[in-house]
A and B are shown apart, each in its own frame.
Chain A
Amino acid sequence: MKKNFGRRGRWALFVSTIALSAMLVIAPQATKVQAQGTLKVGMTLADIPVSFGQPDQGFEGFRFMGLMLYDALINWDMSQGDKPSGLIPGLAESWSVDPSDKTKWTFNLRKNVKFHDGSTFNADAVIFNFDKLLDKNSPQFSARQGSLVNFRIPSIKSYKKIDDYTVEFTTHKPDSFVPYQLCYILMASPTQWEKTGKDWNIFAKTPSGTGPWKLETLVPREKAEFVPFKGHWDATRVPKLDKVITIPIPDPNARTAALLSGQVDWIEAPAPDAIPRIKSKGFKIVANAYPHVWSWHLSRVEGSPWNDIRVRKAANLAVDREGIKALLGGYAVPASGHVTPQDPWYGSPSFKIKYDPEAAKSLLKEAGFSKANPVKIKAMISASGSGQMLPLPMNEYIQQNLAEVGIKVDFEVTEWNALIDLWRAGAKSPQAKGSHVINVSYTTQDPYSSFTRFLRSDLHAPKGVNWGFYNDPKMDDLLNAASAAFDPAERDAVLAKVHAREVDDAAFLWVVHDVAPRAMAQKVKGYVQAKNWFQSLTSAYIE
C-alpha cells in the first residue's frame, strides 16, 4: 500500500510539473521590468575579459573591460564619430620629446586623479605599472599581463620618475610612434594591489583603476556589472547610466534572439542576414567606419605569381566590392587601399582601385594569362575569426570574381587559431605549403599596426608579421622616416607617402573596411560610435 501511494505521489509530482511548465509557457510574460538607466550588452566574447589591468581577448577586451576600468597616460578620443579618432591627453596632461635627444620623452602627469579605491595617481603608480610589465624582479611583475601587451611597446627601453608628477621614458632609438604605443598601457592602483594580498588574481575580483566605470560584480563566463565612478577626473566622462551589464553571448543567433526578446538592450556584431529582421522589430542599427581592413595578404616569396605587379593590380581591379558590400547587408565600406580616403594617411595613390574586370583582363593578358590559362593561386582562409566578418562567403565571392578574369583560386580552409599560427610562421614556412595568400583582417588604428609590421623588411616572419616577405628598400626608408618624424603633421605626410606607395604597388588585395554594426533598442540614447575599435559607453543613457 505504502509503495503504491509513493508511486502515485511521484505521478502527481510529474503531472504538477508538466502543468506548471504549460502554465508558464501559455501565460503572458510579466511586464519586462528594467532598472532605469541599466544597459545590458551582449558581447561576442565567450567569457568576461580578465579585469586585473591589461585585458585579454583583443580589442573587445579593451572595449568592455580595460578602457572601462582604467585609463592610460594617453587616451583615444571616443567623444565623436565624424572624424578619425585620434590620441588625446589621458592621465598625462602633456608629453614632449627632448629636442636634443629624441630618445627621451617627458610625460607631465595629471594632478588630483584618484583611483577607485581613493588612493592618488602619481608617478609612483606609473612606475609600478611599467615594472609590473617589464621588470621581472619587481614583486608586482605579471608575466601574464606582460604577454598581453608588451609587444605593443617595443620602443620602450627604460623609464624613471623625475618627480611626483613627471615621468621620463627612454626609447631604444628615436621613434615618433611612442604615443601610439603607450596608449595601450593601463594604470592599475598599487594601493589596491597591496590591499588584495599582492595577488593579481585576487585584485581582479575587486580591481581599481582611474577609469569611468567601477566593477561591481564579475561572474566568469556569465556577466560583469559596472557602476559609474563619480570621482572620475574628467567630468565629461562620468557615465550617465546607473549600470552597465556585459554578458558574453558568442553565438550570433543567440545574441540576436536575446536582443529581440528584450533580454539585452544592445548587441555587438549582429549577423548581416539578421539585420533586416532586427530593424523590422523596431530596433536600430548603429554603424560607423573604423580602422579595419579586410584584405588578402599576398606572398612575395620566390615563385609567387604575385611578384608580377600586373597580376596584383588585376586582382585588385577584378573584385566587385559593391557586391561584397551587398552580401554584407550594406554594412561595409569598399576599400581603395589599406585605409579609407578620409584618413590622413591615405595620401594620393595613382593606382585607383575599383571594379574594372576588363582592365584586369588586359593586365593579365599582358602578363601572359587568361581564363583559358589562368594564374593559379592557393589561399589560406578561415571559416570564422575575430574581425574576419563572413570569411567563407566573402572569399567565395572573390574566388568567383577572380575566376572571371583568369585567376583560379583554391582555398585551404583552416580553423582560426591554426590560421594565426600559419600567419606567424610566414609564407616561407613549411606549414604554409606554398600558399600565395593569407586572409587575416587587420587593424589600421596606429602607424605600426597599419604599415610597419607588414611592410618593413626587418620584420619578415617569424621575427615579425611581414607574412608575405614584402621587401622594398624605399618603403623601409619611408617607414623609418615616419617613425623619426616627431611633428604630427610631418609624420602624417610621410605615412601618406607610405600608403600611396603601398597602393601603387598593389601590395595587398584590399576588399572592404568593416563598419562594426551594433544593434540596440530604441530606448538606448546618447551613444556616439567613434571611428575606433574602442568605444565609450559614458555618454549612453536609457530613455
Chain B
Amino acid sequence: MIAYIVRRVLYVIPIALGVSVIIFGLVHIAPGDPLNAVVPPDAPKETVELLIKAYGFDKPLPVQYLIWLGKALEGDFGISYATGRTVSDAIAGGVVNTLILAVGGILIGTIMGCSIGALAGYFQGSWIDKLATGFAIAGVSVPHYWLGLVLVIIFSVELSVLPAMGMGPGGSTSWVWDVEHFKHLILPVITLSVIPIGIITRSVRATIAEILTMEFIQTLEAKGLKKGRVFIHVAMNAAPTVLAVSGLQIGYLLGGSILVETVFSWPGTGFLLNDAIFRRDIPLLQGVILVLAMFFVVLNLLVDIAQSLIDPRMNRS
C-alpha cells in the first residue's frame, strides 16, 4: 500500500507539470492583449512598448514560462497586473472563501444525493424511484446561474428573508461563524449543491440497485440478517463509488462555482477568475487556474487512496 501511495504521489509531478504547461499556453493564446489590464485603451504605443519590456512580454514564451514556473514553485505567483496586489494573497483569500461554499455544497449534495439515491435504489421502479430520478435529472440539468437568480428573487427580493449577495453584512468581508454570515451562505450553497445532488443520486441509485442483485445479499438475507444490517453491507459496498463521485464533485465545485460566485458576488476563486478573465490579468489568471487544477489533482489522489483503504478488494498494486 505504501509503495502504491508513493507511486501515486510521484505521478502527480508530471501531471502538475503538464497542467502548468497547458494553463500557460491557453492563457497566452487567448485573444486580447494582456496589457489591457494595465493600460487604458488609448494609451500611446510608446507606453505600451515600455510596459511590454517591463512585464517581460518581449521574452520568448518558453522563457516566460520557465520564469513563471520557477517563481510558482516557491509559492510566488507574482503581482496582479491590474491591481499591483500580490496574487498569492488574493488566491489564499479566494480559496478559503470558495472552500466554504464547496464544502457546504458537497455536504448537502452528498447527504441528499445518498439519501435520495438509496431510496430510489431500494424501491426501484416505484413512484419513489421515478420521483427521485426526475429530481436527479432536474438537478443535473438546471443552470446554476438561473437557479441562483430565481432563489434570489424568491428569498431576497420577494420574501426578504435571506441576503442576495456578499459574504457577510455591510459589504462582505472574510468569513465569521455567526448567524448573519451563515444566512449569506444559504442561497449560494443551495444553488451549488443542486448538481452534486443530481449526480450523486444517480450514481448511488445505480450502485445500490446493482448491489441488491448480487448473490451475497441473498446470502445475508437467507442467514436471517435484519434489513438494517443488510443495508449496512450494501452501504459499505457502495461507499467507494460514492466517495469517488463526491471527490470529483468537490473538484468541480471548487473550479466550477464561477457563475454562482458571480451571481452572489461571493469573493472566492470563481469571482477572482471572472475578474482575471475580463481584465486579462495573466498572473492572477494563471495562479488561480493552477491552484484549482492542483486541487483537482490532489483530490483525485486522496480519493484513490481512500478508496483503496475502504475497499481491500481494490488491488492497486
Contacts and interface: CB of A to CB of B under 8 A. Distances in A.
Interface of A: 14, 20-21, 24-29, 40, 46-47, 50, 52, 56, 58, 143-144, 146-148, 150-151, 154, 200-201, 204, 219-223, 225, 245, 247-251, 253-254, 257-258, 260-263, 281, 414-418, 420-421, 423-424, 440, 453, 462-465
Given A151-B43, A253-B263, A24 B183 contact: yes
A453 B38 contact: no
Most buried by B among A28, A40, A143: A143
13 contacts: A25-B186, A46-B279, A47-B83, A144-B38, A222-B172, A257-B149, A258-B265, A261-B152, A418-B32, A420-B33, A420-B36, A463-B44, A465-B42
Interface in B129-168: 149, 152-153, 155-157, 160-167
Interface in B160-192: 160-167, 170-174, 179, 182-183, 186
Interface stretch (B204-212, B266-274, B308-316): B266-274
Contacts of A143: 50-51, 54
A12 to B, nearest CB: 13
Given A248-B265, A254-B265, A420-B41, A47 B275 contact: yes
A251 B170 CA distance: 19
Given A147-B38, A258-B165, 19 more contacts: A24-B179, A25-B161, A143-B50, A148-B38, A151-B44, A221-B271, A222-B173, A245-B171, A247-B172, A250-B262, A250-B275, A254-B152, A254-B265, A258-B164, A258-B265, A263-B164, A417-B278, A424-B42, A440-B41
Contact of B85 (A220, A281, A423): A220
B47 interface: yes
B31 interface: yes
Lowest 10 A-B CB distances belong to which pairs? A223-B171, A417-B32, A261-B156, A46-B275, A257-B164, A418-B31, A261-B164, A260-B157, A418-B32, A257-B152
B257 to A, nearest CB: 14
B90 interface: yes
Contacts of B36: 417, 420-421
B40 interface: yes
Nearest to A33: B169
Contact of B278 (A46, A200, A245): A46
Contact of A254 (B51, B83, B164): B164
B275 A262 contact: no
Given A46-B278, A46-B279, A201 B85 contact: yes
Given A250-B274, A417-B280, A453-B42, A47 B82 contact: yes
Nearest to B160: A29
B14 interface: no
B71 to A, nearest CB: 18
A198 to B, nearest CB: 15
Contact of B156 (A56, A260, A464): A260
A204 B183 CA distance: 32
Interface in B62-80: none
Nearest to B174: A219
B149 A253 contact: yes
Contact of B165 (A147, A151, A245, A257): A257
B45 interface: yes
A421 B33 contact: yes
B173 A223 contact: yes
B76 to A, nearest CB: 15
Nearest to A420: B41
Contacts of A465: 41-42
A414 B30 CA distance: 12
B236 interface: no
Interface of B: 31-33, 36, 38-45, 47, 50-51, 54, 82-85, 90, 93, 111, 149, 152-153, 155-157, 160-167, 170-174, 179, 182-183, 186, 262-265, 267, 271-272, 274-275, 278-280
A220 B164 contact: no
A147 B170 contact: no
Interface residue SS majority, chain B: loop
B167 A154 contact: no
Nearest to B171: A223
B111 A24 contact: no
B274 A46 contact: yes
Contacts of A245: 170-171
B51 A147 contact: yes
Contacts of B85: 201, 220
Contacts of A204: 84
Contacts of A424: 41-42
A250 B172 CA distance: 15
B157 A220 contact: no
A265 B74 CA distance: 44
Contacts of B272: 221
B263 A415 contact: no
A223 B172 contact: yes
A113 B262 CA distance: 42
A25 B165 contact: no
Nearest to B264: A254
A248 B272 CA distance: 12
A114 B167 CA distance: 37
B83 A50 contact: yes
B83 A56 contact: yes
Contacts of B90: 220-221
Contacts of A462: 45
Contacts of B186: 21, 24-25
A143 B85 CA distance: 15
Given A222-B171, A247-B171, A261-B156, A147 B39 contact: yes
A227 to B, nearest CB: 14
Contacts of B157: 257, 260-261, 281
Contacts of A253: 149, 263
Contacts of B263: 251, 253-254
A221 B39 contact: no
Contacts of A257: 149, 152-153, 156-157, 164-165
A462 B170 CA distance: 45
A260 B153 CA distance: 9
Contacts of B41: 420, 423-424, 440, 465
Contact of B161 (A27, A248, A421, A423): A27
Contact of B275 (A28, A29, A221, A225): A221
Most buried by B among A28, A204, A254, A465: A254
A518 B149 CA distance: 21
A452 to B, nearest CB: 11
B160 A262 contact: yes
Contacts of A261: 152, 156-157, 160, 163-164
Contacts of B155: 25
